[in-house]
Amino acid sequence: MKIFLTSAVIILLVANVILTGTVLFKTPKIGYVRSQNLIYGYLGMKEAQSRFQEKTNQWQTNTDTLRFDYQKSLSAYQQEYSKLSEKERKERENLLELQKNNVLNYSDAVSKKAKEEEEKMTEGVLNQINAFAEEFGKSEGYDIIFGTTLSGNLLYGNGAMDITDELLAGLNDKYKNK
């Protein structure tokens, strides 16, 4: 009976040590992605960039139209200058000044808006990528997923640990609602 109890205790102790060792010294599953490839290969980024480009093109067209109108008014004024009285010149100059300010103000407002829109666009895309990377990491059992960046936080990674293509494929499938 005593031998039996001693054996049971030893077996339990050994099992405990193995279990603790497995938990403590488990090799973490690590992968890395080439961040630039992931971001610019992502369909969500491509669509966001294309939409942003459409908006900026429209703003640019509006700015060009305002600028063209101003140039036209300025040329007309220069051509008619000699025929105008002092009072008329003053009035036309005031109008031109107003028109010029409108062009500058619109151009400034558009630049500010474009900057904000670009920030929003990038934020949205990065948040989508981060959310999917988290989901992917959990479902595939990754402990850590590194991202290579231009600032060089990861100097070398074995190609076998490069999961960029896998992650990008899943990300794009999700974007397309597959």
- Of 48 and 66, nearer to another protein (C-beta) is 48
Nearer to another protein, 116 or 165 (CB): 116
The CA–CA distances, whole Å, from 23 to 10, 11, 13, 17, 29 equal: 20, 18, 15, 10, 13
Nearer to another protein, 2 or 176 (CB): 176
90/120 with CB nearer another protein:
120
Axis crossing angle, helix 164-175 with helix 43-80, rounded to the nearest 10: 70
Question: Which of 10, 47, 93, 109 touches another protein by CB under 8 A?
Answer: 47
**136 within 8 A of 33, measured Cβ to Cβ:** no
125 near another protein (CB under 8 A): yes
Least Cβ distance, residue 30 to another protein (angstroms): 24
Cα separation, 168 vs 39, in Å, equals 9
- Which one of 2, 26, 138, 176 is in contact with another protein (CB under 8 A)? 176
- Specify the DSSP element, H or E, that contains 59: helix 43-80
Tell whether residue 177 is a contact of another protein (CB under 8 A): yes
Q: Does residue 63 contact residue 106 with C-beta atoms inside 8 Å?
A: yes
Shortest Å distance, C-beta 47 to another protein: 6
Number of residues that bind another protein (CB under 8 A): 17
Closest contact distance (angstroms) between CB of 39 and another protein is 12
Three-state helix/strand/coil letters over 11-52? HHHHHHHHHHHHHHCCCCCEEEEEHHHHHHHCHHHHHHHHHH
Minimum Å gap between C-beta 38 and another protein is 14
Q: For residue 163, report the phi and psi dihedrals to the nearest 5 degrees.
A: -110, 20
> Using CB under 8 A as the criterion, which residues of the chain lie in contact with another protein when the complex forms?
44, 47-48, 51, 117, 120-121, 123-125, 127-128, 130-131, 175-177
